Structure 1
């Protein structure tokens, strides 16, 4: 509909100019999101479906969801077609507006005069995903016979359409396979995606196209081959190798095809077709290191038969035995005389891995590896474990639960300070205590596990577990500090009442002569200080004044808060610390 129809009369021309001016104002207001002007123009009677020279209504230009909602509520036609046969959903410049239109039933598969649907015009992954969420199809062809995949060169969109079922074996309007087309453009990222989605399995290639692909894949390292080997896609790998893909390809980490192979069948195929078994990656890992990670005994056996050194060390000083996650693969390595007692640069043995499985541990221990061997820090394998089944296995096989490292820490102390265990920490600590861990062993600084737990964590669960299993709250470290000192030094005053209930001494003085009460006052925590005072903690008036001066100077509290504490003590704040008194006076 046009409101600017031409007429021969003078008045008609004047009226047309006025109507043109009206819809122009409406269009500009919609484009800029000026809700007030849009409302005013519609109230004045400007038709909501007025069109511009392209046959588009104001809704085509809308970027603001609230403005779009107003237009729709006032009768805007969301299926209006412009001169190209496109609806507003083709043109909207906002995903919010597109979501509104699609949510109200706009046809996400409407086809314009070129035979294309709105998703053909998606510029971002977010726009495409929105349309897909509203049942847009990715397999339509336009009037030239091309699908959306042929017309897309954005990597993220290309991947998205393949994930949604777009056919990777399509051709361009000229009949050129898409794989050949993107290879000619040297888009290796798109070549990789197409091959990953198995386009070669049913792609029919002409002789010249096969020659081109063979030359293309053989000239440059074929990164996609590495991916397909990693995915263990044997059929695709065979296709590429037959096309001439070089087996010398390496990724950014320097890993070749044999580093990526995870099964005996794949390793055998690659070796039979000339893959170099002696390739070493940037970290010094041989294919044997990576095969043991994959836990395939057949792959390990094949690589050893092709001359790989069973005791080759990577940059970290680790042999393939350190990488084995499977008991059978570990057994194969040991049968080929892998050094059971090898140590890496940190002094770790093959047993000292937080992700090791019990079957691998059983093979290593059965072969004679020392369960209590120590690394460069004096830590045993037990101290490297993160899971209860690992701890249980080692303890069942005689691991010393109270062994100490070079700092005098036990496995219980290690567990108390480990940051990555989350809520499992209390459960693991309880397990160790029930298996005989001593909660009152002191490290070389005189600290117990209770002190370590108080210094590192504000959660009471770990402390309660220790209390329930006999942790001594009266322990004193080499600096004369008790558990209350450690608690307050690291700002966990909420634990004070519970520690007092456990028997902590509120009047213990550290090597500097400070009591827990003085530490609280220095931090300006008068509320907790009052609680401690009520439980029998004491300090001299002089100590109190010095601590309060420090808190005031550091803006940790105000005089009103101090006054509340002094009322508990019975001392006169104004007498001891007159307002305006300087520190040290």
Structure 2
């Protein structure tokens, strides 16, 4: 006789769990992290798969959803779970060129050399199924830095990753892999790391990390590799270091951090590169300021426009008693760039009534200097 239909509290609990898990996968596909977080808190399982062997964790890896991936890893993701191709999340991420996800997974101690059902490792998929672009070059560097095998032939083509790049005609990827293939022993990995970072040699940074360099190694001035790269706007180098877990908050002897120096250089691209590392925007430089203040002083319009959108404190007061708005007026030249910065800061909610230590407001400083356009912006705000 057929088994009786299951009913009662256990069946209801299983149905509730299945619904939670399904909704979590739906949130994962939509990259709706707040909703995913709510569902996890309600008991949804980040490892629960559907009929196609997709879980919230595996979805995050293939789609490059870094914040979602971090949520799943923090809530019990089984890092070596396999998809329907017997592939790991590392293989899925490498195939799509998601370098930051690849770095996150390597640092979570995923099986870096797993071979899937068709005989590919992550590095094979990054080359054979990838493109000759900056994203895939960045992904290769992260894999190299993470110590993956470089010379195993693929299952069907019997080609190494380097041979694959040549076969595909991917000159950029071939250069990255050739550099790794030709690398000799690195006697002083930390020193090599710092030198490569300072010069913008991203491939050299990857090889130094592969040889065991500490991403937080420091030079005589207390600068890390990421700070050296950020100060010189070496974006590809910084991108690799961020993927490998380098801190954007490491202070040097001058009380600079990789994040803080972006306010001095005004590099929006470097700002975007560091944001996935979740920089602490409240850390102060040697003048007691945060990144938006030197950027406003120096007239970095595009940077100020982007950084205020991060939620940085636009009313922070430095040790001189000045906000970003005050510095844009007092140390600016009153020209179009500083006019635009004043407009951006006001639109972001900057308080024009905050005065300096002598009780002088930005409006009064603008009038004193004859900055009529800036004064008009501030007067309109007062009105």
TM-score by length of 1: 0.31
Higher helix share: 2
TM-score by length of 2: 0.46
When Rg is computed on C-alpha atoms for both structures, the one with the higher figure is 1
